[in-house]
Structure 1
Amino acid sequence: MSDPILVVGAGPVGLAVAGELARRDVPVRVVDVLAAPTTESRAIVVHARTLEMLERVGVLDEIVDSGIKATGVEMHASGRTIARVELDIVDSPYPYSVVTAQTETERILRENLAKHGVQVERGLTLVALEQDDSGVRATLRDADGREETVAASWLVGADGAHSAVRHLIGSALQGSFHGERFLMGDVHAGHDFDPRSMYTFFSAHDGPLMVFPMKGDRMRLIAQIPTASTDEASQEWLQRITDERAAGRIRIHDALWLTCFEIRHAQVPQYRSGRVFLAGDAAHIHSPAGGQGMNTGLQDAFNLGWKLAAAHAGTASETLLDSYHAERHPVAARVIEFSTRLTHLSTLANPLAQGLRNALLHTATGLGPARQALADETEEVRVAYHDSPAVVPPAAHADITPGDHLPDVAGTDLRRLLSAETGPVLVTLGGPHALPAAVRLPGVRQVLVAATSAPVDGFDVVAADPEGRAAARFGLASGRILVRPDGYVGAVAVGDDDRPVTAYAELTSLG
């Protein structure tokens, strides 16, 4: 039996990676330096693309029930609303963000992991790491100083911004180290905000205040403060800032958690080092503007998990493993650029520049294309892997492109069928006169989209689509779409030319 995969770090990212492995029956160990789950809740927003991934895990309903749905983002300055972006216009079956405590997200992912027989091993610190072509040897130290050397087939470093894994493989974050400092609080408060929105208040003299209503009277407040500030986090300080920036609309009753922290914009140059992979904050850090940190990390996890499962089974090529870095590094770079741009817009000091910003935001969010782009960027539904080495360039035209996330087809059961799978799926769309024969690929489920769900020889599942909505949605009347386990398209074959899907199988060594 092969050695297990070792995941270092039991935050949301580590739990998600381990869950993706465990639900594919891959042996996995999860270790964390903390003796108990954290009570701190740094990340609180789960965006649409991440919700799509969580549906595949089977925890979507629990995540949604744990928080509230936010369908808009408002920006305020000088006592008035200068911009509003509706999030429910994004192309997703879940066109909203869920605002919920990170502690809830962790609890749900941890309980899901336990259903697969995996428990987090706590109070263990990674102190040494060696690897060769056959595996990884990691030395773990417990709270009493006892050490254990464990063998692992692969190792995932999901141990946060101060990652021991990153340090031990000799990697380092690279980027802008002129940090931004924030005061953050989880509080109970009285307010008059619509809980279905998230808010940013621009200040004429200081940094922004970000406001996230949560369930009941709970609220998350994040205020940028001077970098040189050495004051201790306090409820009185946070109240003073909210009075100044939000015009007294927030009355803090008590604080559940207060902290000051500094964020820089940086990421590692390589997400893979031999048999070691970095994910989440261990690989990239950036401003909380946009609320995309945990989401980017969770999507790292969903991208990496199925690839490592294939590697553990001996069915993944080096191209497939290398594609983790090739696909996710540009995504984090884009998130860093987006959050940096938002931060710069929020911290303009010149009154003329502030006035121009306010006018431009007001005008832009009144224009359909700009409003759509902002919503798509926030909800991360624009993430695609068109330049990945693990997708096959299109041989002929279709509206759907390899590297896209497969869009939802309303009115069919296709999404439900695909989300239940843990491996790749080949979706076949029949022509108007004859049903195409199945193409057999090892380890790939065959789904036929047809007028009825009557069984057809050679296909594992037939998805009923009497109105031909899938063909219209994909711009593909007849052909095949190879859908990866993370919901992204690996190849598109138009008509009876199956070379792109067989090329994908050879490229990634499926089976």
Structure 2
Amino acid sequence: MKTSATQVLIVGAGPTGLVLALWLRRLGVDLRIIDKAPGPGETSRAIAVQARTLEFYRQLGIVDDVLAAGIRVERLAVRTPSGIAATLKLGDFGAGLSRYPFAFALPQDIHERILVRHLEKAGVAVERRAELMSFEQDAAGVTATVVKDGAGEVIRAAYLCGADGASSTVRHGVKLGFPGGTYEQSFYVADVEVEGTIARDGLNVCLDTHGFAIVLPVRQSGSVRLIGIVPAENTAEEKITFEGIRAEVERITGVTVKAVNWFSTYRLHHRVAERFRVGRVFIAGDAGHIHSPAGGQGMNTGIGDAVNLGWKLAAVVGGRADARLIDSYEPERIAFARRLVASTDRAFRVLTSRSVLAGLWRRYLMPRMIALLVATPAGARFAFRTVSQIGITYRDRGGAGQVRGGDRLPYVDALSGDNFAPLSSLDWQVHVYGAASPAFRAALTKTGIPVHAFPFTPAAAEAGFGRDAIYLVRPDGHVAMATVTQDPAPFLRYIEAFAISPGVRPCP
């Protein structure tokens, strides 16, 4: 049997696995990525791409291609059988919080092809029809047996990463439990051509006493996505068809379906794996957490897993950090996954409950509450923070102004350029909003970590930065630590504790 070696073996070539591969490759890691499917997906599946994901894509240098392929969702309308009950402008509802203050839709099949193309440009091809059969690990690495097109191969890797979905072979291989449950309702999803007053650039949430539905544009060609609960009278049918539920779907959504491009029904689960790491084996994305699609968080959370794991693995594999750096992957990401599953579960139960009281609340009171929430700029910004994932924090060391260690670096724009531009280095850096003293710069010089000074503007103050405070920023754009004073000692101790050695030029 053929044998080979690599630094990282990734199992699964969905968005999570592809982003992990892109990040690792940009930082010079030798890797292989396999998937048992013959090619990328052919259906739209996940469609919401949140602002935080677009920020990561800017760091990778691929955001322009992603934006060119998708659709900016300009508004959200809450619809009841009586008409439009509330409207939220989504075109710039996060203005000042991100370079991407809008809602954005991109079908997963197109999304994956963009990621694959950029990965191939970086010199890595997804190995298709390649299935992980078994693996074992020891103190030095992982030995995996893979079958590709009927031929076996043994791959020796320093680390194994499972991004292979909800029925993950990798998760099963390390015997991790996947506690949670399954929602009682059946759901439908369809990509369709429609007639009606539906706006092609808007998201419609349709609420009714007996259920709900979502109508969302997914392709520049004009098709829309329909998502909703299968009517109770149809759930017992051996095979649920769109024609069987057409009347109810059109009644709730207010559209007339001209053609059905794709239709499927499914059951939803809410689960989080017991752990995200066992020794040299990691899981990410749906392999570690699955939940309701409320808020369009699932795929974006997997991509966040990939970025968090990617920069840490690259640093350790490349000898630029102590192996203890990777220890933070599991606690940071599993804590967020658990919070997310709990919150989406609560929201989804309200949206899908068939009780009379919940139905009345959903149809009559919920639209009014949404209308009140979005009536002010503060409400719109709260909504943006909630869904965009810019509010994810790994609260850690120290703080200055309103920014604490673990927070995502707040975004500040200026005529001279925004403060996220230096993050394209995918490396450690120090930010100061004001002036960095010569003594501090001199002390940091020997670490190889660049110091970026930005003017302390009203926008910087509004974002929460302290004047002349020092912020150590991680490769993923999160603040590692912050201090009010410019004493270099805490930063030098932090850098020494993890043996951080930045400055390695990324691969193109």
Amino acid at match of 1:242: V
Q: Deviations over 1:424-471 (max 9, x none)?
A: 111234449978534336764313315xxxxxxxxxxxxxx4857546
Matching of residue 44 in structure 1 with residue 47 in structure 2: yes
Partner of 1:488: 478
The answer on whether the counterparts of 1:184 and 1:222 sit within 8 Å (CA) in structure 2 is yes
Amino acid at match of 2:6: D
Structure 2 CA distance for partners of 1:332 and 1:409, relative to 1, 3 Å: same
Instruction: Note the C-alpha offset of 1:508.
Output: 2.9
Question: How many equivalent residue pairs?
Answer: 487
1:30-41 correspondence runs (5 A): 30-41=33-44
Amino acid at match of 2:61: G
Output the TM-score relative to the length of structure 2: 0.89
Instruction: Note the C-alpha offset of 1:323.
Output: 1.1
The answer on whether the counterparts of 1:319 and 1:507 sit within 8 Å (CA) in structure 2 is no
Amino acid at match of 2:270: H
1:436-475 correspondence runs (5 A): 436-440=440-444, 444-449=448-453, 465=455, 470=460, 473-475=463-465
- State the distance in 2 between where 1:380 and 1:176 align: 24
Matching of residue 407 in structure 1 with residue 410 in structure 2: yes
1:233-248 correspondence runs (5 A): 233-237=240-244, 239-247=246-254
Q: Deviations over 1:136-193 (max 9, x none)?
A: 011111242x321100111110011111111111112111234542111122223322
Amino acid at match of 2:277: R
Matching of residue 80 in structure 1 with residue 70 in structure 2: no
Partner of 1:108: 114
- State the distance in 1 between where 2:258 and 2:370 align: 37
Structure 2 CA distance for partners of 1:95 and 1:430, relative to 1, 3 Å: closer
Matching of residue 131 in structure 1 with residue 137 in structure 2: yes
Structure 2 CA distance for partners of 1:375 and 1:44, relative to 1, 3 Å: same
The answer on whether the counterparts of 2:41 and 2:109 sit within 8 Å (CA) in structure 1 is yes
Instruction: Note the C-alpha offset of 1:496.
Output: 2.0
- State the distance in 1 between where 2:86 and 2:157 align: 51
Partner of 1:461: none
- State the distance in 2 between where 1:203 and 1:35 align: 41
Structure 1 segments (4+ residues) deviating >6 Å: 432-435
Amino acid at match of 1:208: F
Q: Deviations over 1:330-373 (max 9, x none)?
A: 22222212321221121233444333343244135414455543
- State the distance in 2 between where 1:266 and 1:488 align: 26
Structure 2 CA distance for partners of 1:229 and 1:42, relative to 1, 3 Å: farther
Highest RCO, 1 vs 2 (Cα 8 Å, sep ≥ 6): 2
Instruction: Note the C-alpha offset of 1:422.
Output: 1.6
Structure 2 CA distance for partners of 1:263 and 1:175, relative to 1, 3 Å: same
Partner of 1:498: 488
Q: Deviations over 1:180-230 (max 9, x none)?
A: 42111122223322233212212322x321111132321111122259544
- Percent identity of the aligned residues? 31
The answer on whether the counterparts of 2:350 and 2:358 sit within 8 Å (CA) in structure 1 is no
1:331-480 correspondence runs (5 A): 331-357=336-362, 358-367=364-373, 368=376, 371-386=380-395, 391-394=396-399, 397-411=400-414, 412-431=416-435, 436-440=440-444, 444-449=448-453, 465=455, 470=460, 473-480=463-470
- State the distance in 1 between where 2:387 and 2:204 align: 13
Partner of 2:221: 216
- State the distance in 2 between where 1:477 and 1:136 align: 48
Partner of 2:291: 286
Amino acid at match of 2:241: S
- State the distance in 1 between where 2:160 and 2:465 align: 41
Structure 2 CA distance for partners of 1:433 and 1:297, relative to 1, 3 Å: closer
The answer on whether the counterparts of 2:428 and 2:473 sit within 8 Å (CA) in structure 1 is yes
Q: Deviations over 1:225-280 (max 9, x none)?
A: 25954443534235333212113x2x323222221111110110111111111111
- State the distance in 2 between where 1:322 and 1:229 align: 47
The answer on whether the counterparts of 2:406 and 2:479 sit within 8 Å (CA) in structure 1 is yes
- State the distance in 2 between where 1:161 and 1:310 align: 28
The answer on whether the counterparts of 2:53 and 2:303 sit within 8 Å (CA) in structure 1 is yes
Structure 2 CA distance for partners of 1:418 and 1:241, relative to 1, 3 Å: farther
Amino acid at match of 1:104: I
Structure 2 CA distance for partners of 1:469 and 1:376, relative to 1, 3 Å: closer
Instruction: Note the C-alpha offset of 1:81.
Output: 2.8
- State the distance in 2 between where 1:507 and 1:85 align: 47
Q: Which runs of 5+ in 2 are unaligned?
A: 502-508
Q: Which runs of 5+ in 1 are unaligned?
A: 451-464
Instruction: Note the C-alpha offset of 1:75.
Output: 2.3
Partner residue of 2:191 out of 173, 186, 193: 186
The answer on whether the counterparts of 1:232 and 1:260 sit within 8 Å (CA) in structure 2 is no
Output the TM-score relative to the length of structure 1: 0.88
Partner of 1:99: 105
The answer on whether the counterparts of 2:250 and 2:257 sit within 8 Å (CA) in structure 1 is no
- State the distance in 2 between where 1:442 and 1:195 align: 55
- State the distance in 2 between where 1:444 and 1:469 align: 29
Amino acid at match of 1:398: G
Partner of 2:505: none
1:256-275 correspondence runs (5 A): 256-275=261-280
- State the distance in 2 between where 1:421 and 1:327 align: 22
The answer on whether the counterparts of 1:438 and 1:446 sit within 8 Å (CA) in structure 2 is no
- State the distance in 1 between where 2:264 and 2:349 align: 22
